[in-house]
């Protein structure tokens, strides 16, 4: 059986992707870092669609933990493989560069870039051998434009967009597509504390996006119909 693995699936955009894909009949593995209660809520929502599902907690920045979790799952499921991956786990820790401490720089880059490397490498071989795979990387408008106060986050997401384009060319012949999605402001825990009323004035659509809207785009990129789209970065930002 084919499974989808979503990193950071406990909340926000990752949860919406898990639920959307379960509604389309996909079996789903839900990764998270520490928030077991929220991950269980996602699992319950996914299981309501009658698909196979499980929790796979690990810190995406910890290569040994990633390999142990994914290797352990694969060993326990020899007939199954992870055919689709959404590298969605991400954090932000904003500050002007002049005030940005080394920890904030490293944590944000590591979660996005080491996370992409660790998790993608752990699932890529079965996709290539099976000659079918889908990878979607959760980038950001910040990685395309650069946003003040987000030098760490912009660098991480810009790097992720570039890695997407490189890997896409490596595996296209094996029928594995690799794309990225660049959301603007999406209503999740991550944007709590931002001045929504003020920011809305800058968004042509005059509102924040919903996680389900991002999930619909991800679902298309994970579908059979999207087989000829690879190496792309698709914005979803209300015109921002
Ligand atoms: P969120 O609500 O803050 O959720 C973040 C998710 O990532 C949680 O599931 C969290 O797990 C997980 N996570 C964080 N660090 C992790 C780690 N080291 N290992 C494993 N999982 C980890 O964020 P969101 O808004 O849904 O964002 C999801 C993705 O979209 C991120 O990559 C973000 O950069 C990107 N994005 C968001 C927006 C936006 O406006 N919301 C815009 C552009 C891009 P726990 O629950 O265990 O903490």
Domains, in order of start, for the chain: 2-236 (3.40.50.720)
Q: Cα(117)–Cα(160) distance, rounded to whole angstroms?
A: 10
Q: Cα(120)–Cα(171) distance, rounded to whole angstroms?
A: 12
Q: Cα(240)–Cα(231) distance, rounded to whole angstroms?
A: 22
Centroid of ligand 1 to alpha carbon of 216 (angstroms): 17
pLDDT band at 25 (very low <50, low <70, confident <90, very high): very high
Nearest protein Cα to ligand 1, atom 34: 90
What pLDDT is recorded for position 95? 97
Pairing of strands 2-6, 81-87: parallel
The proportion of the chain whose per-residue pLDDT surpasses 90, expressed as a percent, equals 100
pLDDT tens digits, residue range 158-176?
Answer: 999 999 999 999 999 999 9
Q: Judging by beta carbons within 10 Å of its beta carbon (0-12, 13-18, 19+), is residue 78 exposed, middle or buried?
A: exposed
What are the structure tokens assigned to 154, written together? 């912009």
Half-sphere exposure of 63 (CA within 13 A, CB side): 6
Ligand 1 within 6 A of CB of 59: yes
DSSP string for residues in 82-136? EEEEEE-------B-GGG--HHHHHHHHIIIIIHHHHHHHHHHHHHHHHT-EEEE
pLDDT tens digits, residue range 77-116?
Answer: 999 999 999 999 999 999 999 999 999 999 999 999 999 9
Nearest atom within ligand 1 for CA of residue 34: 47
Q: How confident is the prediction for the chain on average, in pLDDT?
A: 98
Centroid of ligand 1 to alpha carbon of 79 (angstroms): 30
Nearest atom within ligand 1 for CA of residue 209: 40
| DSSP classification of residue 181 | E
Q: Cα(147)–Cα(70) distance, rounded to whole angstroms?
A: 34
What pLDDT is recorded for position 140? 98
């Amino acid at each position: 059986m084919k499974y989808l693995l979503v990193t950071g699936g406990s909340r926000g955009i990752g949860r919406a992707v898990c639920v959307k894909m379960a509604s389309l009949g996909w079996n789903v593995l839900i990764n998270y870092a520490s928030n077991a209660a929220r991950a269980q809520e996602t699992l319950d929502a996914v299981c309501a669609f009658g698909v196979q599902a499980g929790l796979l907690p690990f810190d995406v920045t910890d290569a040994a933990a990633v390999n142990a979790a994914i290797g352990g799952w694969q060993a326990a499921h020899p007939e199954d493989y992870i055919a689709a991956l959404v590298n969605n786990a991400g954090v932000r820790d904003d500050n002007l560069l002049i005030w940005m401490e080394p920890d904030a720089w490293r944590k944000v880059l590591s979660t996005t870039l080491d996370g992409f490397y660790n998790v993608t490498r752990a699932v890529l071989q079965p996709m290539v051998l099976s000659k079918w795979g889908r990878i979607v990387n959760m980038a950001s408008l910040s990685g395309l434009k650069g946003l003040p106060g987000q030098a760490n986050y912009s660098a991480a997401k810009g790097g992720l967009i570039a890695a997407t384009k490189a890997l896409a060319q490596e595996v296209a012949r094996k029928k594995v597509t690799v794309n990225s999605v660049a959301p603007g402001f999406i209503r999740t825990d991550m944007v709590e504390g931002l001045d929504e009323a003020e920011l809305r004035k800058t968004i042509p659509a005059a509102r924040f996006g919903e996680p389900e809207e991002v999930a619909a785009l991800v679902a298309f990129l994970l579908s059979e119909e999207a087989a000829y789209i690879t190496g792309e970065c698709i914005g979803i930002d209300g015109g921002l």
